[in-house]
């Protein structure tokens, strides 16, 4: 069973970076994507860095040629320490989806944003 906790006002979450909040003594990054709000634990599973304080970006998609194709703009957070890239929606590490940071459900009621823990 999860409990909802007030995190911030919805309009405080930028479109190009995370809003860092503390909920139940946990550092959490709240993101605003085209499909809504998402929240990840602000701890990189690799070495414990502040994952959600890294850049919100896209990544290079694998192709059958030597060309580079930039893809998924605004859907990835890149850890500032070592460049590990995580899907903001799922918390999965792009190179190995079995490595994840914890993600949380988010809801909005009026202008208030809640993280469910």
Mean of pLDDT values over 36-61: 95
**Confidence check: pLDDT of 12 > 90:** yes
Domain ranges of the chain: 4-116
pTM of the prediction?
0.92
Closest by alpha carbon to 29, among 47, 14, 45, 11?
14
- Give per-residue pLDDT as tens, 88-103: 999 999 999 999 999 9
The closest alpha carbon to 106, from 47, 35, 43, 53, belongs to 35
Measured CA to CA, the distance from residue 60 to residue 45 in angstroms comes to: 22
**pLDDT per residue as tens digits for the range 13-44:** 999 999 999 999 999 999 999 999 999 999 99
More confident residue, 33 or 1: 33
CATH H-level, domain 4-116: superfamily: Rieske [2Fe-2S] iron-sulphur domain (2.102.10.10)
């Amino acid at each position: 069973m999860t409990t909802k906790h007030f995190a911030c006002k919805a309009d405080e979450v930028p479109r190009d970076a995370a809003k860092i909040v503390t909920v139940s003594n946990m550092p959490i990054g709240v993101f605003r994507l085209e499909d809504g709000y998402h929240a990840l634990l602000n701890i990189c599973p690799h070495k414990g860095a502040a994952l959600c304080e890294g850049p919100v970006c896209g990544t290079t998609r694998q192709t059958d040629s030597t060309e580079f194709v930039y893809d998924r703009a605004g859907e990835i957070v890149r850890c500032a320490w070592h460049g590990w890239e995580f899907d903001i929606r799922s918390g999965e590490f792009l190179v190995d989806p079995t490595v994840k940071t914890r993600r949380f459900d988010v809801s909005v009621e009026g202008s208030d944003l809640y993280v469910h823990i």
